[in-house]
Structure 1
Amino acid sequence: MKQKISSRLFIIAFIAMLSTAVGVIYACYNSFENQVKNDLRIYAQVIEDTDVLHSYYENDTYEDIPNLFENIREDNLRITWIDQDGTVLYDNDVDVNNLQNHLNRPEIQSAIETGQGECVRKSDSLQMNTYYYAILMDDGTILRVSIMAKTITSIFLSLVPYILLILLLILFVCFFLSHYLTKQLLEPINHMAENLDNPIEEPAYKELVPFANKIRSQHENILLAAKSRQDFTANVSHELKTPLTAISGYAELIENNMVPKDQEVYFAKQIRENANRLLALINDIINLSELDHTEKHSDFVSVHLLDVAKEVCQSVQINAQKKNIELTCTGSDEVILANTELLKEMITNLVQNAIQYNNEGGYVQVRIYNEDGVVLSVKDNGIGIPKDVQDRVFERFYRVDKSRSRQTGGTGLGLAIVKHVVEIHDAHIELISDVGKGCQIIIRF
């Protein structure tokens, strides 16, 4: 980053200096060119005002014409006097006998038509511009003055060594300044990076405040995720170890003929129940792992929520009947955009929990309705959840009553799966519960 900033500052300085040099030369040349044209006008007017040319022309005496401009000592100034028919009467630079007719020259034509004319002709071989100014005199003759000057290209080329020398000196200074300014610019950022964990430390630049807050938030989230993953690994190891230890223990007793004949069925039942619990735990862990990759569940379709809820209730009806629990599913036919399989998984976990943590002869009510949006409600009159732990029930492996959870085969992952599915659907979950009075979970889509 430091190198990029330095190099870009250096490039910007170089472009700015080069542009400035070219611009200054162009502006100076325009000023010089305008001055040349203005000087030519003044020379022509001064010569015209002498009236000497008029008297010579009227008397048709041209012998002393070369003496007309003795007092004009301007270097490079060429003076040409042209008759009405374009014949050159006098030229202080070239023998008139060697000159062609000038009637077709642009500045002469313009002077005849408007009283004055000017033109610039360029010599590519000499890299010079010749500026002409012609004025129509009262007697019909034309007085033309001209001067040669360097072109802007030749001026620029002649100044190239000086420009390069100045550019090198300035670039040398800019090189060190860019490094110094870059260091000064990045120092507060480096300081902020070193003190990212300190919430009191404010960035030196106010523009970096949102960036710093975002980075700190992400940093905290990463730490929390790492801790959560570490806790999850520890919990998985512990949860898997319990049924495996039981299975291994029961199997070892049977292997060593240490189980009475009348208890073999009991031991076999314990092995089967722990194996089922192990399978349920593994399935829930796999489900959670898949839910972490939300891109796999983007295939949302229009779903009739009441039909899905009724299908789930019918599949778990036998579990409710075993505990003499009345399971009902009612409501209005509401349609939402959702992943059907995830909805089934979510409702199954909610209804299974309501059955498992209910009392004999209780009820579980599943209801679908619309209240400023589609709502799914699962309500029971079971053991309920204490107020002080309601915020934790959606954590992985958290159980309100651990002994009862293990007796009912709970893995402690059901509500964690529910929370994941809710987040995938951008829904909101709400828990209402009192100990001994039951529990209601409301999901608003």
Structure 2
Amino acid sequence: MTSISVAMMLLTMCITVVVFHGLFSEQVMEDLKTHVHILKSTEAVLEYVEKDFDPQIDNLRITVIDSDGKVIYDSNADIGTMENHGNRPEVHEALEKGSGEAKRKSSTLDKTTYYYAEKMSDGRVIRVAKEVLSIWQFCFNILPILMAEMLLTVVICLVASKLLAKRLVEPIEQMAQHLDDDQVLESYEEIQPFLDKIHSQHKALKKSANMRQDFTANVSHELKTPLAAISGYAELIETGIAKEKDIKHFASEIHKSANRLLSLINDIIELSQLDVMDGNMEKAPVDLSDEAQNCVEMLQMHAEKHKITLLAKDIEKNCIIYGNQNMIQEILYNLCDNAIRYNKPKGHVWVSVFEKDSKIILRVKDDGIGIAPKEQERIFERFYRVDKARSKKTGGTGLGLAIVKHIAEQHNAEIVIKSEIGQGTVISIEFTKIEKDA
């Protein structure tokens, strides 16, 4: 702020000096013309020539030159020592055109002399001259005033900038000290959007940190359970405490726990990869109709094992979306797997793919246990289970729908859920449609 002010003052001074010096020069020349006209009209110059004396008019130098260039009178010099002035620009111009003007700078005196000459009726030339300070001397004369003004400006700028800076950062400092406070901080209009953004980002970071902390705690707990089971059964077999008829049962439990552990690890790895991916994935046109049909066929045995009827219903052809094929397959698998696991005996699962309002909709519907309204917003949280006992019994990890939500966000797809307790659940994912040859 101070530097800009000083720079602008210097620039203003330079422009002012140049402009005023130019105006001053024009005024000096006009004054010289006026003096010549007065001398001519009053014929006072004839008296100076005849009586040979110095008039002392405004420090003017008056010179009278004959038509052949010979100086016949000069108020400031001895005419006997003066050379012929016929070749002087202002004199030469006056003899030819009636009047002439010129200015010459003296390098020794650092002054500029202005000349104006005019031809009289008798053929002689009257010339007046006046010395004027150079532009540098003009600057030097106003330098003390400029320095005082600059010093005052620097002091004012330093004080003002300090107060202004304090005023500018005060809301930011307050926010930094009260990031967790939801109370609206007082600030000026221009910075309010910035403060709101920082506050919201802080909340998001804090929420993310809490989620990661909860996730770590849940992971530890979820991994500990199958590991404890594996370790316990293995110890019974190793120490010989287990009877031979129980070894097969213990081995089966170890196998189940190991599979559960592998499923947990795979889902955790996949979620971690989705977290760092942030939209940076390979995408290509994917036929959602074909993928849905393949998923239904692949999970038939899994559904039969749980005594569930899995059906492909209303799957329209050529429903093309733009996405990652592996991730789309993961969405289909997790939605269908959840619908099978959280279902009633002899229940049904229907998978549909269709186009509606320029959207490609994947819908998985079941007639299972349903989800309470207060729990519908939480089912996509990591390790959240509607029925914890059923989830562990069926081998669910509690991460399937969290993975679905992540993948849907990566594809800018919207998830819509409708469910009633005891009536079943419908989960729809709405994708943006593209043409098949896109």
What band does the TM-score fall into relative to the shorter chain? 0.7 to 0.9
Kindly indicate whether residue 13 of structure 2 is the aligned counterpart of residue 29 of structure 1.
no
- Aligned-residue identity in percent: 43
1:356 alignment partner AA:
R
2:434 is aligned to none
Please identify, of 315-324 and 157-166, the stretch whose mean Cα deviation from structure 2 is larger. 157-166
Give the CA deviation at 1:16: 3.3
Q: Distance in 2 between matches of 1:145 and 1:246?
A: 119
Kindly indicate whether residue 310 of structure 2 is the aligned counterpart of residue 326 of structure 1.
yes
Q: Tell me the TM-score normalised to structure 2 length.
A: 0.88
Q: Contact 1:192/1:201 (CA < 8 Å) preserved in 2?
A: no
Q: Distance in 1 between matches of 2:217 and 2:259?
A: 21
1:278 is aligned to 261
Kindly indicate whether residue 208 of structure 2 is the aligned counterpart of residue 208 of structure 1.
no
Distance 1:198 1:389, change over 3 A: same
Q: Contact 1:203/1:212 (CA < 8 Å) preserved in 2?
A: no
Which residue of 397, 401, 405 maps to 2:387? 401
Kindly indicate whether residue 12 of structure 2 is the aligned counterpart of residue 47 of structure 1.
no
Distance 1:406 1:168, change over 3 A: same
Q: Distance in 2 between matches of 1:312 and 1:86?
A: 116
Give the CA deviation at 1:190: 2.5
1:284 alignment partner AA:
D
5+ long unaligned stretches in structure 1: 1-8, 57-61
Q: Distance in 2 between matches of 1:254 and 1:157?
A: 105
Distance 1:66 1:32, change over 3 A: farther
Kindly indicate whether residue 378 of structure 2 is the aligned counterpart of residue 392 of structure 1.
yes
Q: Contact 1:66/1:92 (CA < 8 Å) preserved in 2?
A: no
Q: Distance in 2 between matches of 1:182 and 1:196?
A: 21
Q: Distance in 2 between matches of 1:145 and 1:115?
A: 15
Kindly indicate whether residue 199 of structure 2 is the aligned counterpart of residue 199 of structure 1.
no
Specify the SS of the correspondent of 2:333.
helix
Which residue of 331, 355, 377 maps to 1:346? 331
Query: Could you list the per-position Cα deviations for residues 169-204 of structure 1 after superposition, in whole angstroms to 9, with x for gaps in the alignment?
Result: 543454344334433443344234334433333323
Query: Could you list the per-position Cα deviations for residues 320-347 of structure 1 after superposition, in whole angstroms to 9, with x for gaps in the alignment?
Result: 2333523316223122221222111112
Q: Tell me the TM-score normalised to structure 1 length.
A: 0.87
Query: Could you list the per-position Cα deviations for residues 197-225 of structure 1 after superposition, in whole angstroms to 9, with x for gaps in the alignment?
Result: 33333323111211121111111112211
Q: Contact 2:171/2:185 (CA < 8 Å) preserved in 1?
A: no
Give the CA deviation at 1:311: 3.1
Distance 1:117 1:308, change over 3 A: farther
Specify the SS of the correspondent of 2:384.
coil
Q: Contact 2:62/2:75 (CA < 8 Å) preserved in 1?
A: yes
2:322 is aligned to 337
Distance 1:356 1:28, change over 3 A: same
Specify the SS of the correspondent of 2:258.
helix
Give the CA deviation at 1:299: 2.1
Distance 1:69 1:420, change over 3 A: farther
Q: Contact 1:325/1:360 (CA < 8 Å) preserved in 2?
A: no
Query: Could you list the per-position Cα deviations for residues 386-405 of structure 1 after superposition, in whole angstroms to 9, with x for gaps in the alignment?
Result: 22211110000011111111
5+ long unaligned stretches in structure 2: 432-438
1:389 alignment partner AA:
E
Superposition RMSD in Å: 2.7
Q: Contact 1:40/1:133 (CA < 8 Å) preserved in 2?
A: yes
1:339-378 matches, within 5 Å, as: 339-372=324-357, 373-378=359-364
Give the CA deviation at 1:353: 1.2
1:6 is aligned to none
Q: Distance in 1 between matches of 2:350 and 2:91?
A: 108
